[in-house]
Amino acid sequence: MSGQDELEKLESEALAAIGAAADMRALDAVRVKYLGKKGLVSAQMKGLGALPPEERKERGRLLNELRGALEQAIAERRAALEKQALEEKLAKERVDVTLPARPEEEGAVHPVSHVWEEVVEIFADLGFSVAEGPHIETDWYNFEALNIPPEHPARQEHDTFYFHEKADGTRKLLRTHTSPVQIHTMEAQQPPIRIIAPGRTFRCDSDQTHTPMFHQVEALVIDRDTHMGHLKWTLEEFCKAFFETENVKMRFRASHFPFTEPSMEVDINCSWEGGQVKVGEGDDWLEILGSGMVHPNVLRAGGLDPDEWQGFAFGIGLDRLAMLKYGIPDLRAFFESDIRWLRHYGFSALQIPTLSGGLSA
Ligand code: PHE
């Protein structure tokens, strides 16, 4: 076979192989076989040196032409394969926009969770951060450190759930309020303190406005000259923001808590007409929070000097807030896990409360 015939045969074989390459890998294998460093065309190139000069020139030209032709054929094949792959991908990933929408999601965010987020949003805006404490507490944190000694009558009012007594005579309990977080916070950080602590609380009690598990938000502010005026202003600002109106009627009632002095309770004006609660109407009042100036004994229990530091605290009933704001008459229904109730009173997971975008929007 003449040198030229030989090259033509090589070319037609290579072109056939390129045309038959079904994917990029196969194509690359063909490229390596012919044009790679140790490929067939390269081997021919290497043989040029052994030829007499006049033959070498002609054959070199032919070989360069061959290489050019193969490179071009490979590039074309590659483009064709890429196009084909893209078309397959497009066909496979096609979205039929005329299909009906997916069915609505079944779940909903519980009103208490939503109100929890609303409250956090409002207090964050006022410069508070969120603190936490355990559900299972010791007597010290739930009572003693809060100025409620063992024989204090306030213990009876708390209807405490106790755990079994341990060998050393102590017994743990489910916290009856979020106030123990006041002590944990004083232990964990130095004043000035400005925290809220939303969470679950437990008391052995059940009727239309009480459930054995409920939710509170504790607030604690401690600084050198924090006073009752700050407390009252904070509560008023909170209520206006939360109920999204300037006209919430609040009633500040002198009260008593062992851990605050002086103490006051705050009621919100509402009506219960026709089995519905409405805020700012009628002449009923629903107690939503207890508050006061932190008792010196509590500051001491938290390791602070009452001659140097003072502050206020309050505990809001989160579930009560949810009832009032969203007109939900019976607290017990909150915890019955009835999906119809949740569908009616719940919130979409996408409704995240913000002060700028609206809390309950
Ligand atoms: N811990 C009190 C309760 O559960 C509420 C409260 C908190 C009162 C802080 C005063 C200060 O009723």
User: How far from 353 is each of 104, 359, 361, CA to CA, in Å?
Assistant: 21, 4, 7
The answer to whether residue 297 scores a pLDDT higher than 60 is yes
- Residue 315 alpha carbon to ligand 1 centre in Å: 4
* 271: confidence class by pLDDT, cuts 50, 70, 90: confident
- How many Å lie between the centroid of ligand 1 and the Cα of residue 162? 20
299-326 residue pLDDT tens: 999 999 999 999 999 999 999 899 888 8
Binding site membership of 311 for ligand 1 (Cβ less than 6 Å) = no
Between 245 and 194, residue with greater pLDDT: 194
Q: Is the Cβ atom of 147 under 6 angstroms away from ligand 1?
A: no
In this prediction, residue 268 carries a pLDDT of 87
The pLDDT assigned to 1 comes to 56
Comparing 10-14, 88-92, 230-234, 246-250, which segment has the lowest mean pLDDT?
Answer: 246-250
82 or 245, higher pLDDT: 82
Nearest Cα to 115, choosing from 318, 330, 259? 318
| pLDDT over threshold 70, residue 192 | yes
Distance 270 CA to ligand 1 centre (A): 22
pLDDT of residue 227: 96
- Does pLDDT of 2 surpass 70? no
pLDDT of residue 82: 94
Q: What is the pLDDT of residue 353?
A: 82
Residue 130 φ then ψ, to 5°? -100, 130
What mean pLDDT is reported for the chain?
A: 90
What separation in Å is there between the alpha carbon of 161 and the centre of ligand 1?
Answer: 18
Does residue 177's CB lie within 6 angstroms of at least one atom of ligand 1?
yes
Measure 206 CA to ligand 1 centroid, in angstroms: 19
Percent of the chain with pLDDT over 90: 61
> Is residue 180 in contact with ligand 1, taking CB distance under 6 Å?
no
d(C-alpha 292, C-alpha 250), whole Å: 16
Kindly give the number of the ligand 1 atom that is closest to the alpha carbon of 291.
Answer: 10
Measured distance CA(221)–CA(322) in Å, rounded:
24
pLDDT of 175 > 60? The answer is: yes
Decide: 143 in ligand 1 pocket, CB within 6 A: no
Q: Which of 129-133, 153-157, 267-271 shows the highest mean pLDDT?
A: 129-133
- Region 82-87 average pLDDT: 93
Residue 361 has pLDDT above 70, yes or no: no
**Mean pLDDT value across residues 183-194:** 97
pLDDT at 80: 93
What pLDDT does 308 receive? 97
Is the CB–ligand 1 distance for residue 201 below 6 Å? no
| 160-174, 235-249, 295-309: least confidently modelled range | 235-249
